Amino acid sequence: MKTIYFNKFYKSFNILSGILIIASLVFLVFKGLNFGVDFKGGTLIELRTDTSSANITKIRDSFNQMNLGDVSVKNFGNETDFVVKFEKQNSNDPQFIEEIKTILSNSIGTVDFRRVENVGPKVSAELLRSGVIAIALSLAAMLLYIWIRFEWQFSLGAILALFHDVIITLGVFSVFSLEINLSIVAAVLTIVGYSMNDTVVIFDRVRENLRKYADVKIFELTNISINETLSRTIITSVTTLLALLSIFIFGGEILKGFSLAMILGVIFGTYSSIYIANPVLVSLKVSQRTIVKEEKE
């Protein structure tokens, strides 16, 4: 197979990644994330109307008259399905949801509440905290694992690649105001696993090649290793993306955000294994001595 010179573009892609990360951070800090009821508290109602005359404006108007705080209404999958979110949560009043349903039926006709989620402020704060802890913990666990398995230069490269993927994925969610809920946390953790997996495969090869070719510079060596593992990288990304696309397209509205986050993560994860993890090895001047020294110790 023809050799592709990935290493020629290390610099340009590093600049690109740098820009993307900074842009993501700017968005995360100034625009923030669109937290769903899981993390913000409030009420979510997924409803199905039986007439096509019901539209977003009508539904929003009737909800606005009920004094429920900030209301957002979105189409959900098809024309008759909507998701309504509002600030107020009052699950202690057993009639709360029933009353909303009655008022709504009077203004827009028969509605069916397919899903109701009602999360109090205490629970949402806890869910947010445990989500953040879970992500931090998994990053720490990966760091620990790779630190045991490889030399520190490799660990640094892999961890930088991980941060890159997580930050940019969250950045995309911020830019497009996509909802962050519990399943997105699961997606981010899986991305962390996948990205690590991808990096480890290339790194294993780099280390093997370091032993094999004593006189090849690391700049060349990373390129050889990337090329040798390239068909595997492509095939695995393709099969994973095929599975994820199938969830995204056919898996229903509830899994849309989750599969989208995963798709982004797999793309960024594959890219970062090549263009973040490897340049780190190059700039840290990893050589045969790096691994020989470690092995002697």
Partner 1 sequence: MLYFSKLRVFSVLIFTLIISYFTISNFTKVDDEFFSKNIKLGLDLQGGSYLLLEIDNEPVITQRLQSKVLEFKKFFKDKNIKVRNFVIEDKSIIFDVENSKIEEVKSLLDDDESEINPYFQQYKSHQFNIENMDTSFKLEFSDYGLVLLKNSSLDQAIEIVRRRVDEVGTNEPNILKRGNDRILVELPGLDDPGRIKSLLGKTANLTFQFISSSSEESFGTEKLSFEDGTSEAIVSKRIVLSGDNLMDAKPTMNNQTNETVVSFSLDRVGAKKFGKATSNGVGKRLAIVLDGKIISAPEVREPIIGGNGQISGNFTFQSATDLALLLRSGALPAPLNIIEERTVGPDLGKDSINAGIMSLIIGFILVVAFMFYKYRFFGLIANLALISNLFLLVGILTLFEATLTLPGIAGIILTVGMAVDANVLIFERIKEELKNENNSIVAFDSGYTKSRTTILDANITTLIAAVILFFMGSGPIKGFSITLGVGILTTLFSVYFIARLITAYYVIKNKHKEKLI
Terminal-to-terminal C-alpha distance of the chain: 38
* Residue of 21, 25, 28, 182 interacting with partner 1 (CB under 8 A): 182
> Phi and psi of 192, rounded to 5°?
-55, -45
Determine if 251 is a binding residue for partner 1 (CB under 8 A).
yes
Token readout for 189 is 């953790």
CB 279, min distance to partner 1, A: 21
**# residues contacting partner 1 (CB under 8 A):** 70
* Residue of 8, 31, 115, 212 interacting with partner 1 (CB under 8 A): 115
Closest CB to partner 1 among residues 19, 141: 141
Q: From the CB of residue 114, how many other CB atoms can be counted at a distance below 10 Å?
A: 13
* Residue of 71, 108, 168, 262 interacting with partner 1 (CB under 8 A): 262
CB 246, min distance to partner 1, A: 3
CB 262, min distance to partner 1, A: 7
Closest CB to partner 1 among residues 232, 293: 232
DSSP the chain: -PPP-GGGGHHHHHHHHHHHHHHHHHIIIII--EE-HHHH-EEEEEEEESSTT--HHHHHHHHHTT--SSEEEEEESEEEEEEEEES---TTSTTHHHHHHHHHHHHH--EEEEEEEEE-HHHHHHHHHHHHHHHHHHHHHHHHHHHHHS-HHHHHHHHHHHHHHHHHHHHHHHHTT-EE-HHHHHHHHHHHHHHHHHHHHHHHHHHHHHHH-TTS-HHHHHHHHHHHHHHHHHHHHHHHHHHHHHHHHHS-GGGHHHHHHHHHHHHHHHHHIIIIIHHHHHHTT--HHHHHHHHH-
Determine if 177 is a binding residue for partner 1 (CB under 8 A).
no
Contact characters 78-107, partner 1, x per CB under 8 A: -------------xx-xx-xx---------
Closest CB to partner 1 among residues 110, 246: 246
Closest CB to partner 1 among residues 217, 232: 232
Contact characters 206-245, partner 1, x per CB under 8 A: ----------------------xx-xx--xx-xxxxxxxx
CB 175, min distance to partner 1, A: 24
CB 59, min distance to partner 1, A: 18
Cα distance between residue 271 and residue 19, in whole Å? 15
Token readout for 229 is 């593992």
Determine if 4 is a binding residue for partner 1 (CB under 8 A).
no
Closest CB to partner 1 among residues 27, 154: 154
Cα distance between residue 221 and residue 215, in whole Å? 10
Determine if 170 is a binding residue for partner 1 (CB under 8 A).
no
Residues that bind partner 1 (CB under 8 A): 46, 48, 91-92, 94-95, 97-98, 112-120, 122-123, 127, 130-131, 133-134, 137-138, 141-142, 145, 149, 182-183, 185-186, 189-190, 192-194, 196-197, 200-201, 204-205, 228-229, 231-232, 235-236, 238-247, 249-252, 254-255, 258-259, 262
